[in-house]
Amino acid sequence: MFTKLKVKKSRQRKVLFNQYFQAKKNILPLDDFKKINYTTMNLFPLKRLLILLLSIVMLIGCASKRYAKKGAEFEKAGLYEKAAEMYYISVTKNQKNLEAQVGLRKTGQITLDNKLEAFMGHYNADDIKDAVYIYLELNTFYEKVKTTGIDLSFPRSYADHYQEVKTLYLDARYQDAYLLLEQEKFSESEAILNEILTLEPGFKDAQELKNTAHFEPIYRKAKELLDIQKYRSSYLKFQEILKKQANYKDARELSELALTNALITIAVVDFSNTTKQKGIETMLQSCIEKNISTLKTPFIKLVDRENIKDITQEQLLTLEGKVDGSIQAKAGKMLGVKALLTGQVNYYGATTGGLEKTEKKGYVKKVIKVKTKEGEKDSTLYEKTRYFEYKQENSVTCHFQYKLISTETGEVLVTDAISHETSDEVHYAAYDGDRDNLIPGYWESKDKKSSLDVINDSASDKRKLKELLEERRQLKSLDAMSIDVQQVIANKVGLKIEQYDPER
């Protein structure tokens, strides 16, 4: 009874505590909180709640006082800017800390006045850069203090002086950037233009000049690569520009020219098959064609197979470099593609394994009632029994060789021999009796006890047997496994073709 009462009290405390903090966060209206039935307060002493809340308030208050104390120490030492920082932190932790507010107003004003004096010193000395950046610093300080509700005295006449020196500074920096751009010192010019646009976004044509400073070196490099027939690299450089500046000079037209020259158009010649598995070459070819057609590279394109349906074996030999280059060039022009993909299935094996059945000895665990002098009690019996374990495995293996041949030169661009095997195995147990109480083990004789008898009634042994009893019994079909093998081979072919780069 005492334990139940403790649990009930604990739950009621938790509910009341959550209701209070929901009210504090305006999740639960305070009026609703006031309507709570406090008849249960004897189970949740108000004193504990008040102590908890008071502790939280004290922690916040202590932190605020600690920073205010540090601020006072810095102020006493004449370190007003550090003092203002400490007072600022103190106020942010406790807005009602009057000592911190007074300290922040006093030391903040002294700090701001000192910075304004420094600003005017640079202003009068025509040191426009330092004047600009000191003003930005003091304005940031002023706005920061203002977030606490303290508005320092900041005559707006200083803003007029700032605008004056900022205009002078921006004009000077603009001239520097322009001169550097004319001298083709692009990175130095871009750095200055970034500074200008940070100080005043939209200043004159600084953004346009910045684009030139940033993209012109890339544009020139892309054109240089185009001239030396490194079309892929050229295209990628042009794309760097076009992703950010769609209309930069003639980058789009040159990018398209580079891609046209970099593009490898591929036609697939019907694969051959030296195995007894009819049709495997056609299925594999279809899988590879699909893979190539979905490659994420702009440099590979699979063309319609109708273009090559009449290619003879003699023409294939021509393309592999068995005759002179002029004939190869004519063949490539005739086909309208830059490369041909040929392939051959050299081996294919699909094996259905036999079902292995193994008899296992175990026990059925039973709990019965036994009468004793003290009354009935439970007794555990282990009844000997047999169950069976089954194993079976299917496998599919394929060996495939392919070549990607240039129709322009007869050169083998990509080639590989791929072997892949996949298998699927089932291993399960079956029992016709009480599976829930089946225990693994061993026994010599079903009718006699033996010192060799073993009952494996541990949790891990029972779990392993239960898993075997629940394992799947259906093997993956050979057709499904064949598709898996073809997909793996197709992925490898596609990846190697995608990674081919004639410029490396």
Q: What are the structure tokens assigned to 366, written together?
A: 């039973």
Whole-number Å distance between alpha carbons of 89 and 274: 82
User: Smallest Cα–Cα separation from 500: which of 346, 339, 342?
Assistant: 339
The pLDDT assigned to 462 comes to: 96
Does the pLDDT at position 331 exceed 90?
no
Q: Flag whether the pTM goes above 0.85.
A: no
pLDDT value of residue 236: 98
Q: Which residue has the higher pLDDT, 22 or 172?
A: 172
pLDDT of amino acid 5: 40
> Which of 58-72, 258-272, 320-334 is predicted most confidently?
258-272
pLDDT at residue 2 in the model: 40
pLDDT band at 304 (very low <50, low <70, confident <90, very high): confident
Identify the pLDDT of residue 337: 87
The type of residue at 434 is D
pLDDT digits (tens, 9 = 90+) for 203-217: 999 999 999 999 999
pLDDT at 62: 80
Average pLDDT value for residue range 428-437: 96
Average pLDDT on 234-251 reads: 96
CB 356 within 8 A of CB 350: no
Query: What confidence score (pLDDT) does residue 306 get?
Result: 65
Q: How far apart are the C-alpha atoms of 286 and 335, rounded to whole Å?
A: 20
d(CA 277, CA 348): 7
pLDDT of residue 377: 87
Residues 347-377 have pLDDT tens digits of: 999 999 999 999 999 999 999 888 887 888 8
Average pLDDT, the chain: 87
The residue written with tokens 């990846």 in the block is 495
Please name every residue paired with 360 in a beta bridge, in sequence order, or none if there are none: 387
Percentage with pLDDT > 90 across the chain: 75
Residues whose CB is less than 8 angstroms from the CB of residue 258 and which lie 6 or more positions away in sequence, other chains included:
222, 225, 226, 231, 232, 234, 235, 238
**More confident of the two residues 57 and 229:** 229
Query: Which residues sit opposite 342 in a β-bridge?
Result: 403
pLDDT at residue 369, rounded to an integer = 85
pLDDT digits (tens, 9 = 90+) for 170-201: 999 999 999 999 999 999 999 999 999 999 99
Q: Is the pLDDT of residue 257 over 80?
A: yes
Residue 161 pLDDT level (bands cut at 50, 70, 90): very high
Q: How do residues 100-148 score in pLDDT, each as one tens digit?
A: 999 999 999 999 999 999 999 999 999 999 999 999 999 999 999 999 9
- Residue range 263-504, CATH number: 3.40.50.10610
User: What's the 3-state SS for 400-423?
Assistant: EEEEEEECCCCCEEEEEEEEEEEE
The pLDDT assigned to 290 comes to 96
Tracing tokens 């394992």 back to the chain, one arrives at 471
